């Protein structure tokens, strides 16, 4: 088995606070012996659980990077028992390019797990997390948002899992994150996802969708910052009380939640995020791009609930996710 070429420039298991890099050799035209330097912060104080916190798994999502930069700056060893491993920019080349997938190899990190030690740059990053960092962790928080093409109601989510005990632990940590919404998610296609790698190693896993559109807001950044501290407090790593507000429960029970565009065009939204929909009510129109005088294609809610996600850019392509309607606990 080939060795993964990534080396950390800091100790991963010594008491104290360290800022450094995961160094991934990357020989290229601009730098023959160069490397991709992925920033990492490790804070440890004695025995206790390990939390692995990651942002920018997709490079155009910003709440995670903001929350984790802030945590890496503020958190001190004396505040914790155990270890916190912080990687704000997991897919660093994608983050630097403000793109979802890596500009080096066009690979989506969140479809590259368990990765390959001798694969492309992104496959090597996936493999390093899968084989080195994940086995160290008890709890994993991976921040997502909608990126440039989607916008979400701010939620933290857990997955429907085969192991009821593991699912219960994930749900408890997800509730502790305390986003305004908490969701039980069914993925469209979970093969190759970091989520699947984390969960298959038996870890407690929290993921989020905290906004989107390729930016962050003051509100979504605040939710992200509070969530990290709340999960650390929930796990007994951070000696503090979690800050808790009401979180509404969302569910996406089946494929009817997802609405996909069957034509390209100009999107006219008819509802906004958080708006209530009864099954059969219109969600959006898509107008033609090349002429007037043609009836728009209208899309209708396939189930009752609230609009939990929407396509972000003004133009849409055939096959794009137009809207997600989720059910709520007060339906």
Least Å distance, CB 146 to Ca ion, is: 7
- Shortest Å, Cβ 150 to Ca ion: 8
Rounded Cα–Cα distance for residues 58 and 171 (Å): 23
CA distance 187 to 159: 8
Q: How far is the CB of 147 from Ca ion (least distance, A)?
A: 6
Nearer to Ca ion, 144 or 159 (CB): 144
Residue from 44, 58, 148, 175 binding Ca ion (CB under 5 A): 58
Place of tokens 């699912």: 167
The smaller minimum CB distance to Ca ion, of residues 58 and 229, is found at 58
Cβ distance to Ca ion smaller for residue 193 or 277: 193
Judged by beta carbon, residue 43 or residue 309, the one nearer Ca ion is 309
- Reduced DSSP (H G I as helix, E B as strand, rest coil) percent helix, strand, coil of the chain, to 5: 25, 30, 45
**Binding map of Ca ion across residues 130-169, x = CB under 5 A, - = no contact:** --------------x-------------------------
With CB under 5 A as the rule, give the number of residues binding Ca ion.
2
Taking the complex as a whole, the smallest distance from the CB of residue 144 to Ca ion amounts, in Å, to 4
Start-to-end CA distance of the chain, whole Å, equals 53
Looking at the Cβ atoms of 80 and 151, the one nearer to Ca ion is 151
44 counts as binding Ca ion under rule CB under 5 A:
no
Q: Are strands 181-185 and 248-251 parallel, antiparallel or unpaired?
A: parallel
> Least Å distance between CB 220 and Ca ion?
13
| Min dist. Cβ of residue 269 to Ca ion (A) | 21
Burial of 139 (0-12, 13-18, 19+ CB in 10 A): buried
Q: Token pair of 257, please?
A: 């939640």
Query: For residues 128 and 143, which CB has a smaller minimum distance to Ca ion in the complex?
Result: 143
Helices and strands per DSSP (H, E), number in the chain: 7, 19
Phi and psi torsions of 132, nearest 5°: -110, -55
Which residues inside 212-241 make contact with Ca ion, applying CB under 5 A?
A: none
Burial of 274 (0-12, 13-18, 19+ CB in 10 A): middle
> CA–CA separation, 32 vs 37, rounded Å?
15
Q: Segment near Ca ion (CB under 5 A), from 38-46, 50-58, 273-281, 304-312?
A: 50-58
Chain contacts with Ca ion (rule: CB under 5 A): 58, 144
């Amino acid at each position: 088995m080939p060795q993964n070429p990534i080396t950390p420039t800091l100790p991963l298991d010594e008491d104290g606070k360290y800022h450094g890099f995961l160094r991934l050799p990357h020989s290229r035209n601009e730098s023959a012996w160069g490397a991709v330097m992925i920033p990492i912060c490790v804070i440890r104080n004695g025995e206790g659980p390990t939390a692995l916190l990651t942002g920018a798994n997709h490079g155009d999502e910003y709440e995670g990077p903001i929350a984790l930069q802030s945590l890496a700056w503020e958190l001190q060893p004396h505040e914790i028992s155990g270890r916190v491993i912080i990687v704000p920019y997991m897919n660093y080349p994608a983050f630097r390019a403000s793109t979802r997938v890596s500009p080096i190899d066009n690979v989506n990190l969140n479809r590259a797990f368990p990765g390959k030690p001798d694969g492309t740059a992104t496959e090597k990053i996936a493999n390093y997390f899968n084989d080195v960092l994940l086995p160290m962790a008890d709890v994993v928080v991976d921040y997502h948002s909608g990126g440039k093409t989607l916008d979400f109601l701010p939620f933290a989510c857990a997955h429907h899992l085969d192991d009821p005990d593991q699912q219960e632990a994930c749900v408890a940590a997800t509730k502790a994150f305390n986003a305004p919404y908490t969701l039980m998610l069914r993925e469209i296609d979970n093969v190759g996802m970091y989520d699947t790698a984390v969960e298959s190693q038996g870890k407690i896993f929290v993921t989020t969708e905290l906004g989107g559109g390729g930016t962050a807001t003051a509100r979504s950044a605040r939710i992200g910052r509070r969530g990290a501290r709340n999960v650390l407090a929930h796990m007994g790593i951070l000696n503090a009380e979690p800050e808790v507000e009401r979180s509404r429960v969302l569910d996406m029970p089946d494929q009817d939640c997802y609405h996909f565009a069957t034509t390209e065009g100009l999107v006219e939204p008819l509802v906004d995020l958080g708006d209530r929909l009864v099954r059969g009510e219109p969600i959006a129109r898509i107008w033609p791009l090349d002429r007037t005088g043609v009836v728009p294609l209208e899309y209708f809610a396939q189930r009752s609930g609230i609009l939990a996600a929407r396509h972000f850019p003004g133009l849409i392509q055939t096959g794009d996710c137009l809207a997600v309607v989720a059910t709520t606990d007060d339906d």
